[in-house]
Every structure is written in structure tokens, then in C-alpha cells.
Amino acid sequence: MLTFLTIVYVICALLLTFYAIGITVLLIGYWLHRHENTPTPKISHWPIVAIQLPIYNERHVVERLLDAVAALDYPPDKLTVQVLDDSTDDTSSMIADRAALLRAKGLNIQHVQRDNRQGFKAGALAHGLTLLAESNPASEFVGVFDSDFVPPPDFLRKTIPYLVSDPTIGMVQTRWGHINPSDNALTFGQTMALDGHFVVEQTARCRSGLLMSFSGSGGVWRTQCITEAGGWSDLTLTEDLDLSYRAQLAGWHFLYLPDVVVPAELPPQITAYKQQQARWAKGNTQVLTFMLGPLWRAELPLRQRIMATLHLCQYLPQPLMMLMLLLTPPLMAAHALDSLPLGPLAIASLGQVLIVVVSQSTLYPNWGRRLLAFPVLLALGTGVAWNNTRAVLGALMGEGGEFRRTPKFAQTGRSNTYALHGDRATWMELLWAAYALAGAVVALNTYPSLAPYLLIYGAAFAIVALWSLRERW
């Protein structure tokens, strides 16, 4: 049994090392292509564009979103705004009132409501696209914004020209900014994680010729691309990633514009953050189960298929890390870790840290001071490992799941009906914290080099669990 557990431990370490090498490849790709900015093409005409706004119970932010979209600098006769409203509270009446006001000012805005939430966000987008196809003339391009986004006035003028000038581009994605980065430690930690993704990873994937993804908001699609790729599907909880891969496997190219920024609100509640992360983890893994076969059957270069596989597997490292955490104390007690070469894993893992350093130094003059908050990001990324592991395992076992929206508050505070109050993962997180901390105590006397590793897990689980309990009460 000891030999078997040791083999499992080594396999986990090797898989994590391979994934970490992939992160390093992205970092190198970013560094090689970081100055390759493409100037905005000049176009002779502005095409017909629709903006889709999927909404579900967003009373605190919906008016802010509608006002921002109404302020877009674009010919009014070429712009249609679709508010895809599945709300069950007073959000619908707020939308109706604001839409009437904006319509009177000349905005072509449609308030679209369905009888049910079938398909959740994907279903709403598909329904809206069907209505757009019936209009005359039909919209050639469709922008998508979630309710917590505030697109700048020049958004369309900075994105549409790329789609008009290159008919092979199926989607243009922009960088997410942050409305409330200083709300609390949680939101600040999220900015560091998202900056790493949008500054380094998305840029590297796009400019290195790798497959990338629509991020769910802050992007513009060519309607022909959506249609030819099979349309929006509700088979997964991450309809954005699903459609992205189907479109690129169908031959469409994507473009990422890191210099076009759309601010968005970050969830200030740890429970809301965990819910969001679980949805992304489950949805991403669902897409993996659907798209891994088609990806490897596609006529793509080997490097594209390998990096795309790592992209689709981005949440699998967390179950692997949890398994290693589970095995570390018993293997430590049996002195089975003496000769295991774990150094390469530690070295390769530095790539993730460097992504944070590079993104912060690229965006912020005071990046050195900001990096003092790196322990917050470490606690978040580690402390939600059990939360995300449950989601990944559920997806691998074929579970579906409801698209549970992330509450938005527009910095109005969390004392309202949208606030979440704890979750079922909290008690297991406390157990994991106790397990890791007990292992750290043992390691101090047997394997001192492993004590920091176990202390980080113990502290991270304790922080996330106690924060969740505070919101419960």
C-alpha cells in the first residue's frame, strides 16, 4: 500500500510540474510578444451592431450598465441594445423605466423577457440572437456585457474596426478592469489574479498563435461565427469557453486587445467568490470532457493542442494538490518522501508567481508595494482548493448544475437580499485546515522543509473558512 501511495504522490507531482511548465511557456510567450501592438484599422463604414445584456436580478447595477451602454460612441441608427431580462424581482421594472427614458432619447433598446430561465445565460443569449436574426437588417456583430461591467464610450470604435477589416476574426476580447479593487482584501486579491490572466495569459495565447477564449463579457462576436460554430449551448456552466473552442476548431480566429479596458465589479463576499469559482471550475471541466476529443482530432499543430489541453485542464491541478496534501502526512510519517525529487515542482511553480509580478509591474507604477499583498492572493488561491475540487469532481462525474449568478452590490454594502450567507464547503475547509496544521507540527520535527508547505495550506483553509463563517453570522 505504501508503494502505491508513493506512486500516486509522484504522479500528482509530475502532472503538476507539467502544468506549471505550461504556465512558464505562457510567460515566455508574453515576454517575446509583449510589444506587438496592432494599431486600430481604418474602416470606411460602421456596420450594424447589437449589444446583448443578460440580466438576472441585478437591481444595484443594472441602471449603471444601461447608462454606460447608452453613452457608447456609435452611430445610433447602427446600434441595437438588447436587455435580456430573466429577473424575478423589481429589476424588471427598473429596466422598463430606464429603457423608456433612453428610448425617448433616441436609443434603439429592446427589453426582452422570457417565461423561464431555460438555458440560463446561454439560453438568454441564444434567444436574443434569434430575435436579432429576424430583424431587418440583421446585426453583423454582437457585443456582450454582464451586469457588473461599465463599457467605456469608445469601446465599439476600438473593437469593431478589427472585425470589419479581417473577415477571419470571429471574436474580439478586451481586458477586464476593476471598479472596486480596494473594497476589501478579497477584492484586492482578485485584481492580482485577474490581472495575471488578462495581462499575461490572454496576451500570450493570442499573440503566440494559441487557442484562447471569450471571457464571458467585454467582447464582440461576429454573428456568423456564433452561428457556424453551433450557437450558444447550455450543456456547460461556462458557455463562453465552450463556444470559444467550437468556433476556433471550426477555423475562426480570435483577437485580444489588452489596451482596451472594460471595468467590472469584483465580488466582495468570500461566499460569492467561492460560488463564482466553483461555477468556473465545474464549467471549465465540463468543456474539457466535451472538447478534448474534438481538439485532438482537429488538424492543429501539436503545440496548439498541448497548450489548449492545459488551458482546458486549468482547474485539475486543485484536485491533484488536495490529493498530495492528503498523502503528505502519512508518507512523511513512513519516511517515504526521503528520496522523492520534488525540487522541479517547486521551481516550475515559480512561473505562476512571476505572472503576478509581471502583470503588476506592467500595469501599476507602485507595483512593488502592491506585491506586498501577494499573501492574500496565495490564501485565496489555496483556500478555495477544496471548494473547486468538489466542483471539478462533480463535472467529471457528469453533474450538471444551475447557473448561480454572482451577487453584485455597486458598493452599496452587503446588507441586502442578494447577500450570501455561508456555504456547505466551510466545515470541510476547517477540517482540512486542522489536518494541514497538524501535519505541519509533525513536519517541524521530521521534515522541516515541508512545514511551510503545510502551514500555507492550513492557514489558507482557516482564513477562507473563518471568513465564510463570519458572513454566515
Helix locations, 198-269, DSSP H: 202-207, 223-228, 239-249
Q: Would the pTM count as exceeding 0.85?
A: yes
Q: What is the pLDDT of residues 99-157, one digit of tens each?
A: 999 999 999 999 999 989 999 999 999 999 999 998 867 899 999 999 999 999 999 99
The arithmetic mean of pLDDT across residues 310-329, rounded, is 97
| For residue 69, pLDDT beyond 90 | yes
| Superfamily (CATH) of domain 38-273 | Spore Coat Polysaccharide Biosynthesis Protein SpsA; Chain A (3.90.550.10)
pLDDT at 406 over 90: no
- pLDDT value for 407: 64
Q: Select the more confidently predicted residue: 311 or 115.
A: 311
From its phi and psi, is residue 137 left (phi > 0), alpha (psi between -120 and 50) or beta?
A: beta
Give mean pLDDT, residues 407-419: 57
Task: Name the average pLDDT for the chain.
Answer: 93
Instruction: For residue 424, name the pLDDT band (cuts at 50, 70, 90).
Output: confident
Q: How many CA atoms lie within 13 A of 440 on its CB side?
A: 15
Query: Which residues carry out catalysis?
Result: 86, 240
Residue 185 has pLDDT above 90, yes or no: yes
For residues 271 and 421, is the Cβ–Cβ distance under 8 A?
yes
Tell me the C-alpha to C-alpha distance, in Å, between residue 354 and each of 86, 166, 190.
Answer: 41, 34, 16
Kindly give, in sequence order, each residue whose CB lies less than 8 Å from that of residue 207, ignoring residues fewer than 6 positions away.
29, 30, 33, 36, 256
Q: What is the mean pLDDT of residues 88-99?
A: 97
What is the domain partition of the chain in residue ranges? 38-273, 421-473
Whether 258 contacts 170, CB under 8 Å: no
Q: In whole angstroms, what is the distance from residue 237 CA to residue 384 CA?
A: 19
Q: What is the pLDDT of residue 417?
A: 61
The more confident residue out of 34 and 414 is 34
Cell of 153: 464610450
Amino acid 402: pLDDT: 62
Residues 6+ apart with CB under 8 A from 71: 153
Tell me which of 336 and 122 has the higher pLDDT: 122
pLDDT at 401: 66
pLDDT at 419 over 60: no
The one-letter amino acid code at 199 reads V
Give me the pLDDT at residue 349, please.
Answer: 81
Residue 121 pLDDT = 97
pLDDT over threshold 60, residue 285? yes
Identify which has the larger pLDDT, 416 or 260. Answer: 260
pLDDT of residue 409: 62
3-state secondary structure of 194: helix
Query: Residue 171 pairs with which residues in a beta bridge?
Result: 221, 254
Cα 416 from chain centre: 26
